[in-house]
Amino acid sequence: MTNKICTNCETENSINSKYCKQCGFELPNIKIETPPIQETELKNNKKKITSVVIGIIAFAVSYFAVQNFLFKPTFDKQMMEVASLINESCPIMVDSETRLDNSISLPENIFQYNYTLINLEKADVNTEDMRNFLEPTLTNSVKTTPQMEIQRENKMTINYHYKDKNGEFLLLISITPDKYE
């Protein structure tokens, strides 16, 4: 409705007019009724907001799950990173005779420490006596050292590779899961 009609002379007047432009008669007040906001609209808005919030939460949870489970580095990669970290500090003198040269992560769930006995030559070493002395100590170390927990949990074989001062192989001690469980 764009015009008011005068009840006295029936002239059309603009909707904002208070008096008739023809006869000056007071025009009736027309109230423009705006429908009140219905509860259903409020409920729909609440539903929309709730849906958006739930969507954002679902996206965040999905993103977190994908990042942590699908793109989580494999255990082999983690062990390669551990070896790299150890190697940054190498060579390390373990005692007056033994030097840790490096560590490597090998296939088939094997982690290896490479040592050099810096004052000994292969001819001077009884490898069986050395094995009998070192193996129980190393096995106990793998069993009890807190830093080795991840290796124990993942049932890794831990190799200790020894060579003499000239780089000649002396012995390899393998601590397998059946020895430390």
Q: What is the DSSP secondary-structure string of 66-97?
A: IIIIISPPPHHHHHHHHHHHHHHH-SEESSSS
Q: What is the pLDDT of residue 164?
A: 94
Q: What is the pLDDT of residue 150?
A: 83
Query: At 62, is the secondary structure helix, strand, or coil?
Result: helix
| Count of the separate structural domains present in the chain | 3
Domain enclosing residue 118, as ranges: 75-180
Q: Report d(CA 111, CA 152) in Å as an integer.
A: 11
> Pick from 48, 72, 96: which residue ends a domain?
72
CA torsion 79-85-88-89 (nearest 10°) is: -110
Q: Examine the domain organization and report whether 20 and 53 are in the same domain.
A: no
Q: Examine the domain organization and report whether 96 and 109 are in the same domain.
A: yes
Give the global pTM: 0.60
Q: Report d(CA 2, CA 87) in Å as an integer.
A: 87
In the chain, what is the straight-line distance between the N-terminal and C-terminal CA atoms, in Å? 90
Percent of residues, the chain, with pLDDT higher than 90? 33
Q: Which amino acid is at 18?
A: K
Between residues 20 and 112, the one the model is more confident about: 112
pLDDT, mean of residues 5-29: 85
pLDDT of residue 18 exceeding 90 = no
